[in-house]
Amino acid sequence: MLYSQDTSRCIHPDGLSESAIAAEKARTTEAISGIRTDLADGALPALAIATDNGDLPALKEIADRYREKFTDIVVFGTGGSSLGGKCLHALAMSKGPSLHFIDNVDPASFAKLFARLPYATTGLIVISKSGGTAETLAQLNVFLQWFQNHLSAKDIAERITAIVEPGASALRQIAEAGNFTMLDHDPGIGGRYSVFSLVGALPALIAGLDVPTLRDGAAATLHHTIEMELESHPAEGAALVTAAASQIGSAINVLMLYSDQLFWFGHWYRQLWAESVGKDGHGTTPVPFMGTVDQHSQMQLYLDGPRDKLFTMVMRDCIGTGDTIDAAANGGIDLGPLEGRTLGDLLDASQRGTADALAMAGHPVRLLKIDEVNEATLGALMMHFMLETIITAHLMGVDPFDQPAVERGKVQARQYLREMAD
Amino acid sequence: MLYSQDTSRCIHPDGLSESAIAAEKARTTEAISGIRTDLADGALPALAIATDNGDLPALKEIADRYREKFTDIVVFGTGGSSLGGKCLHALAMSKGPSLHFIDNVDPASFAKLFARLPYATTGLIVISKSGGTAETLAQLNVFLQWFQNHLSAKDIAERITAIVEPGASALRQIAEAGNFTMLDHDPGIGGRYSVFSLVGALPALIAGLDVPTLRDGAAATLHHTIEMELESHPAEGAALVTAAASQIGSAINVLMLYSDQLFWFGHWYRQLWAESVGKDGHGTTPVPFMGTVDQHSQMQLYLDGPRDKLFTMVMRDCIGTGDTIDAAANGGIDLGPLEGRTLGDLLDASQRGTADALAMAGHPVRLLKIDEVNEATLGALMMHFMLETIITAHLMGVDPFDQPAVERGKVQARQYLREMAD
């Protein structure tokens, strides 16, 4: 396995009992069996895509062209159309074009963007599953106006790729009218589950990442879950979060991350969890936590505030990595326990110290451990959380794939836009 | 006033009653009277500094030198030493040196940093109130080694400013040994309340921001609160959040922001609130929300999940601002209600639609309104939340200025570092 899971710090006399977790775990069999059947029936393309790289050669061709021709690439999309790509892109250490993920319609940000982007060497990827997302259509429209001030229709067409599901939609019509490259978004893959599909893979390939290894990491977790059933990490995780929510009233899921490269992973998880389990009055609230800065920002509340949180920490083995602290550089001033230690040692001590302080104060802390942050481990973790989310939704009795309430704010917003036009 | 507050959407038959808020509001008099006395006694320098610009000429001199000499400026600090500066810096629209706020000790981030920073034109600001923050000392140490590989001791001294409170500390010793510029952090100003002091002001001046206007905005809110007492926005806000926590079980405070420039403001608020009210089992959990991306990520949970949240939305008047959507640019394809509207219109419709959908579903939504995002309004909002936090802590019976539990994880971390050395 590419990661391990330790839930032992969640179990103690005032907290969760082993039997409560075991009872929930016994209920996961049905969900896993459903996942197995759906996979066999081709009804879970979001997960199955991790085991099939047939789409990659065509994507690679586009990515190579983008890497060669452009210094800057703007990705328009919002929610599930941007968070997965952003999360993968954060892994990139190699040089390549700058990727800008724009998920808002703030006029100030657009003014900044137009002021600094070189139109001749800027490429665009525009993603809307439905092809009708208002923010994305508005973004594309003002960007097209900017392009049209500088470039011919042919030059513009070479700079744009649209990702949209088949069938009539505004984005598809616009892409056809403009001769943009068009890629089909699989209608069976919802936004928050789309990271392994072209929605995440195209930006990742442009960023120079190894997408087959990412998918292999995900596939390993998927196989482990299907084959191990009750003994799988996602089943155990789902049992834990469900038991914590119902037995000890954990209303908040804190995801503690100690690698800067996982910053957007926290936000990707936040959507996955919130939209999947947050319905019919159910669902805990996901909160990303970035160590070490949030140690100096949130720990007071977490240690000493209400006992309404379940903590999941993604720990990485970083002992001995990074630069070594050396008193000589300080003009000989000794830094006590820091002396001779590396940055990685300090990071390791910080994450362990935090986990232990929380557990000693009686808060439930789960540890997920990886050796390093790379495509394989990120793929494994992403698949872990997708499966844990689906299984948890099953335990809570809600549909992990719909989001019926989201439309309400949009209906209201459209009404206000219409009134402005009057 | 530089902002307005509307709590009417919090009051409805199944939610909060006007009388519940009024009862809490009556209790705020004592807290405000305490603030007034403390201000007069010089015991609240964090707030009082907003009314005194005596420190600015000296800071301006350093900022001008940094702007002239450096292309890149790294700010080391964590928690309250970085979030305020980061939050102010996000306002900057003018060109100037690039500021990098580094608040973690992730070896991967340091490798990236050293690979791209031009040592000859890089300046450093290192901030630790106590002078003993392990992360900050470790950051400084490895940075000094990098500098020492390229520069003389004299050249290094010209590139570093240390901000630390008076008295013996490792940072002060190192700064003295290295002849760095040294600025005194006021011992009476805690990290999370330090944004108006030199900790926020120096990075803001380097970013080309108008610090006197920021402080004037803050001072206006302070005066309004001291003079209006019960009728002040912070008193009403504190009454609202306390009533929501106790009457309808709001365990989570969501701060909804619709301007990209306020992204770090959400994180700054998160620390202010969490560390101040999260103790003795009290305190609600702060969650920043960034529209429009989080509309597509969190709204399902917020609308249809557990009723455990109080929503505060910072709305800005953006109707008519930004580029106009024009079907001609789309090859004539009409975008329905978007046609002829601006990006600002869409942002306005989104924020209003979201607020209304939440209120219609019976969730409490408070609106804070500003005309635009600038130094004056940001100063006013920051002071609002500082006062609201202090008053709320008083209503909850906890000390808004201490953070007794934070040390626990650190003690454990130091122990692990010592063990590594054995």
Residue A410 among the catalytic residues: yes
CATH code 1.25.40.10 for A4-36+213-396: no
| 8 Å CB contact of B352 and A412 | yes
A145 → chain B, closest CA residue? B329
Instruction: Give chain A positions within 8 Å (CB) of B348.
Output: 416
- In whole angstroms, what is the distance from residue A165 CA to residue A175 CA? 12
User: Does the pLDDT value for residue B15 go beyond 90?
Assistant: no
- Decide if B134 touches A, using CB distance below 8 A: yes
Residue ranges of chain A whose pLDDT lies below 70 = none
pLDDT confidence of residue B14: 81
| Coil, helix or strand at residue B291 | coil
Residue with tokens 């996602």: A234
Q: How confident is the model at residue B421 (pLDDT cuts 50, 70, 90)?
A: confident
> Tell me: domain A47-211, CATH 3.40.30.10, correct?
no
pLDDT of residue A43: 96
List the catalytic residue out of A18, A30, A372, A410: A410
**In A, which residues are within 8 Å of B79 by CB distance?**
293, 295-297
Site from A416, A418, A419 to mutate, B interface, most B CB atoms within 10 angstroms? A416
Which of B113, B323, B342, B401 to probe by mutation at the A interface, max A CB count within 10 Å? B323
Q: How many CB pairs under 8 A join A and B?
A: 442
Q: Any CB–CB contact under 8 A between A313 and chain B?
A: no
- Helices A18-26, A28-40: inter-axial angle, 10-degree rounding: 30
List of chain A residues whose C-beta atoms are within 8 Å of the C-beta of residue B353: 409-416
Task: Check A346 against B134: CB less than 8 A apart.
Answer: yes
The CATH topology of domain B47-212 is: Rossmann fold (3.40.50)
Q: Give the integer Cα–Cα distance in Å for A51 and A196.
A: 10
What is the residue-wise DSSP string for B12-49? -TTSB-HHHHHHHHHTHHHHHHHHHHHHHTT--HHHHG
Both tokens assigned to B290? 């960034």
Residue B270 near chain A (CB below 8 Å): yes
Handedness of CA B341, B346, B348, B354 (dihedral sign): positive
> Mean pLDDT, to the nearest integer, of B310-339?
95
Q: What is the mean pLDDT of residues B235-241?
A: 97
Residue A257 makes CB contacts below 8 A (sequence gap 6+) with A263, A265, A266, A288, A289, A290, A291, A314
Say whether pLDDT at B332 is over 80. Answer: yes
| Nearest-Cα residue of chain A relative to residue B346 | A417
B101: closest chain A residue by CA? A293
Evaluate if residue B422 carries a pLDDT over 80: no
Q: Burial of B12 by CB count in 10 Å (0-12 exposed, 13-18 middle, 19+ buried)?
A: middle
The single residue of A95, A296, A407, A419 carrying the catalytic annotation is: A296
Q: CA dist A20 to A9, A12, A152, A245, A361, Å?
A: 14, 12, 65, 11, 20
| pLDDT tens for each residue of B257-309 | 999 999 999 999 999 999 999 999 999 999 999 998 999 999 999 999 999 99
Q: Do A338 and B138 count as a contact with CB atoms less than 8 A apart?
A: yes
Query: A135, A275, A375, A388: which is the annotated catalytic residue?
Result: A275
Chain A (337-366) residues lying within 8 Å, Cβ to Cβ, of chain B: 337-350, 352-354, 356-358, 360-361
What is the residue extent of each domain of chain A?
4-36+213-396, 47-211
Question: Which among A285, A345, A353 is the nearest to B409, CB-wise?
Answer: A353
Tell whether A280 lies on the interface with B, counting CB pairs under 8 A: yes
Phi and psi of B322, rounded to 5°? 85, 180
Q: Are B4-36+213-396 and B47-212 in the same CATH fold?
A: yes
Query: Residues B126-156: pLDDT tens digits?
Result: 999 999 999 999 999 999 999 999 999 999 9
CB within 8 Å: A349 and B299? no
Cβ within 8 Å, pair A112-B105: no
Candidates A104, A177, A281; nearest CB to B306: A281
User: What is the per-residue pLDDT across A21-48, written as a single tens digit (0 to 9) for each?
Assistant: 999 999 999 999 999 999 999 999 999 9
> In this complex, do A409 and B290 lie within 8 Å of one another by their Cβ atoms?
no
pLDDT interval class at B170 (50, 70, 90): very high
How does DSSP assign B219-285, residue by residue? HHHHHHHHHHGGGSHHHHHHHHHHHHHHHS---EEEEEE--GGGHHHHHHHHHHHHHHH--TT--PE
Q: Do A353 and A261 touch, CB atoms closer than 8 A? A: no
As a whole number of angstroms, the distance between CA A236 and CA B420 comes to: 32
Question: In this complex, which of B170, B341, B417 lies closest to A346 when CB atoms are compared?
Answer: B417
CB–CB contact A305 B279 (8 Å): yes
CA distance linking residue A304 with residue B281, whole number of Å = 6
Q: Residue A306 is nearest to which of B93, B104, B251, comparing CB atoms?
A: B251
pLDDT of residue B94 exceeding 80 = no
Q: Do A299 and B341 touch (CB under 8 A)?
A: no
Q: Which of B404, B401, B403, B406 is nearest to B44 (CA)?
A: B401
Which residues, including other chains, have CB under 8 Å from residue B136's CB and lie 6 or more apart? B76, B77, B78, B81, B126, B127, B128, B171
Q: Which of residues 76-115 of B touch A (CB under 8 A)?
A: 78-83, 93, 103-112
Residue A270 at interface with chain B, using a CB cutoff of 8 Å: yes
Instruction: Out of B170, B297, B420, name the one closest to residue A271 (CB).
Output: B297
| Chain A from 34 to 73: CB within 8 A of any B CB | none
Please, what is the average pLDDT of chain B?
A: 96
Out of B80, B103, B177, whose CB is closest to A331?
A: B177
Q: Among B320, B363, B362, B327, which residue's Cα sits nearest to residue B345?
A: B320
